[in-house]
Amino acid sequence: MSTDIEKILNVAREHAATEVAPNVDAWNQSGVWPRAASDKAGAAGLMGLYAPEEFGGQGLSLGDGIRVYEELGTADGAYAFALSMHNICTFAGCGYGTEAFKEQWARDLTSGRKLANFALTEPQSGSDATNMYSRAVINSDGTWTINGAKAWVSLAGEADIYFTVVKTTDQPGHQDMAMIAIPADTPGLSFGPRYETPSYTFLPLSEMYMKDVVVSEDNIILPVGQGLQGSLMAIDIARVSIASGCCGLMQAALDTALSYSKNRKMFGGKNLDLDGIQWMLGDVATELEASRLLYRAAANALGTPEGPVMAAHAKRFVPDAAVKAAHTCTQVLGGMGLLKPYGLDRLSRLSQMLRIVDGTTEISRVVIGRSLAKRAKTLPDLPVPKGFGET
Ligand SMILES: Cc1cc2nc3c(=O)[nH]c(=O)nc-3n(C[C@H](O)[C@H](O)[C@H](O)COP(=O)(O)OP(=O)(O)OC[C@H]3O[C@@H](n4cnc5c(N)ncnc54)[C@H](O)[C@@H]3O)c2cc1C
């Protein structure tokens, strides 16, 4: 029987409150990934959320498991993001990996003893993911020799294995794409200098270089022809996970504003007594409730034909709402909102980062626009009066 969702949400809440929230400023100061905390997350069952129990996972559905990031997001969105990427790789490895891969890696991944990340983006291909250069040559003994570069690799140099999307021919398009997991200690795999980010500095980010990297066929996760389709499914899960984490972020911003505003004396009363302040925070609360409903509906739609467009709706709406919430709550605190100890500046930077990663707000609009165009084709034609739109 799979883990009870309420139980795992409590575990995530406790982890966020005791391991993440009190330490995140120190992590950002040190710029070092908190491996001891992610080890504890693994031991607590947060690193194999959707993996089957036979491999040590929790066996949760995506619809349930994704709610974990809302809990983690109350403490830190970048930490929640990194764990969500690990869980997606673990899901892919345990679900689609070879028997040999599962034998070697599954339990280490579900327990969090080994960390995984997903490397799709390249320097020339972010939103335009099919414009990829990384290339695998399939050798006569079945091994793959890979050359190329990935960009914006999270957990760069920290993860133990990188789920990497590559092309297998020189033909344009995506029919030849595949996903293969490259262990960190494979000769020829290296990382560029750390990107300098203004916040979330504990999350190592850099380019990843593959020079004549030879990988066993045991590590093929998605065979030739399924690389792009599988990656898009992974990205849909990531988009909804980010929306979930953003709800935690909005709750944290709102609670900070309420905790301050109820005490701040002004005009013979408290800041929170002012209608204008209540309306500002009321709007944040409404958008938070709407965001929760949306990401949970999107999480439940994953794996159905509606999954991609629902994920796009969630990724379009919720991070935007989080950016707005972080700014509004900063404003409510006045000057204090700008000071580090209140944490709102950190939330503003995080929410902006979450608008970009795993498909920008604009790319979500592209996905939604395409689905509208498809729907338009099914609707009856309304006549356009003569002379309108004609040249
Ligand atoms: C903190 C962080 C962590 C990341 N971690 C990972 C990771 O672990 N693995 C990984 O593979 N990638 C990762 N990424 C990469 C991320 O997914 C990309 O940054 C993202 O997909 C956008 O690509 P880009 O940065 O190249 O922007 P570009 O693709 O260059 O886009 C530039 C601008 O053009 C807009 N745009 C693009 N297409 C359109 C269009 N059709 N219409 C209108 N506007 C458009 C974009 O919205 C954006 O505003 C990470 C990024 C960040 C910031």
Looking up residue 341, the CATH number of its domain turns out to be 1.20.140.10
Which residues are CB-neighbours of 295 under 8 A, at least 6 positions away?
A: 66, 70, 240, 243, 244, 246, 247, 314, 318
Q: Is the CB of 117 under 6 A from ligand 1?
A: yes
- Ligand 1 centroid to residue 99 C-alpha, Å: 34
Q: Residue 290's pLDDT is what?
A: 99
What does the pLDDT look like over 40-67, one tens digit per residue?
Answer: 999 999 999 999 999 999 999 999 999 9
Q: How confident is the model at residue 389 (pLDDT cuts 50, 70, 90)?
A: confident
- What letter represents residue 126's amino acid? G
Q: What is the mean pLDDT of residues 2-8?
A: 87
What does the pLDDT look like over 216-272, one tens digit per residue?
Answer: 999 999 999 999 999 999 999 999 999 999 999 999 999 999 999 999 999 999 999
Q: Are residues 124 and 103 in the same domain?
A: no
Looking up residue 59, the CATH number of its domain turns out to be 1.10.540.10
The Cα 310–Cα 314 span in angstroms is: 6
Point out which residues pair with 270 in neighbouring strands: 265
Q: How confident is the model at residue 1 (pLDDT cuts 50, 70, 90)?
A: low
Q: Are residues 263 and 294 in the same domain?
A: yes
| pLDDT exceeds 80 at position 104 | yes
Q: Is the CB of 318 under 6 A from ligand 1?
A: no
Q: Are residues 135 and 263 in the same domain?
A: no
The Cα 236–Cα 231 span in angstroms is: 9
Final residue of a structural domain among 225, 245, 265:
225
| pLDDT exceeds 90 at position 284 | yes
Q: Is the CB of 127 under 6 A from ligand 1?
A: yes
Q: What is the mean pLDDT of residues 127-146?
A: 96
Q: Are residues 56 and 152 in the same domain?
A: no
What does the pLDDT look like over 21-32, one tens digit per residue?
Answer: 999 999 999 999
Packing angle, helices 5-15 and 35-43, rounded to 10: 160
Looking up residue 171, the CATH number of its domain turns out to be 2.40.110.10
The half-sphere exposure of 310 on its side-chain side, counting CA atoms within 13 A, is 20
Q: Which atom of ligand 1 is nearest to the CA of 154?
A: 8
Range of the domain at 358: 229-376
Q: Is the CB of 158 under 6 A from ligand 1?
A: no
Which runs of consecutive H residues, i.e. helices, occur in the chain?
5-15, 24-30, 35-43, 62-65, 68-73, 77-96, 99-101, 107-110, 227-261, 275-301, 307-332, 344-356, 361-378
Final residue of a structural domain among 46, 81, 114:
114
Number of structural domains, the chain?
Answer: 3
Q: Residue 282's pLDDT is what?
A: 98
Q: Is the CB of 231 under 6 A from ligand 1?
A: no
Helix (H, G, I), strand (E, B) or coil at 165: strand
Per-chain mean pLDDT for the chain: 97
Q: Residue 3's pLDDT is what?
A: 73
Q: Is the CB of 105 under 6 A from ligand 1?
A: no
Q: Is the CB of 118 under 6 A from ligand 1?
A: yes
Q: Residue 139's pLDDT is what?
A: 98
Q: Residue 34's pLDDT is what?
A: 98
Q: Are residues 189 and 297 in the same domain?
A: no
Helix (H, G, I), strand (E, B) or coil at 347: helix
Query: Has residue 389 been placed in a domain?
Result: no
Query: Has residue 386 been placed in a domain?
Result: no
Choose among 131, 110, 95, 17: nearest CA to 56: 110
pTM of the model as a whole: 0.97
Q: Is the CB of 126 under 6 A from ligand 1?
A: yes
Q: Which atom of ligand 1 is nearest to the CA of 359?
A: 21
Q: Are residues 179 and 52 in the same domain?
A: no
Final residue of a structural domain among 205, 225, 245:
225
- Ligand 1 centroid to residue 356 C-alpha, Å: 6
Query: Has residue 170 been placed in a domain?
Result: yes
Q: Residue 387's pLDDT is what?
A: 86
Query: Has residue 292 been placed in a domain?
Result: yes
The Cα 348–Cα 329 span in angstroms is: 10
Q: Are residues 234 and 190 in the same domain?
A: no
- What letter represents residue 213's amino acid? V
Q: Residue 2's pLDDT is what?
A: 62
The Cα 262–Cα 135 span in angstroms is: 58
Residue 218 contacts residue 98 (beta carbons within 8 Å): yes
Q: Are residues 180 and 221 in the same domain?
A: yes
Q: Residue 90's pLDDT is what?
A: 98
Q: How confident is the model at residue 391 (pLDDT cuts 50, 70, 90)?
A: low
Q: Residue 390's pLDDT is what?
A: 63
Choose among 188, 191, 220: nearest CA to 206: 191
Residue 333 contacts residue 93 (beta carbons within 8 Å): no
What does the pLDDT look like over 362-374, one tens digit per residue?
Answer: 999 999 999 999 9
Q: Is the CB of 146 under 6 A from ligand 1?
A: no
- Ligand 1 centroid to residue 136 C-alpha, Å: 24
What does the pLDDT look like over 329-341, one tens digit per residue?
Answer: 999 999 999 999 9
| pLDDT exceeds 80 at position 213 | yes
What does the pLDDT look like over 153-180, one tens digit per residue?
Answer: 999 999 999 999 999 999 988 999 999 9
Query: Has residue 385 been placed in a domain?
Result: no
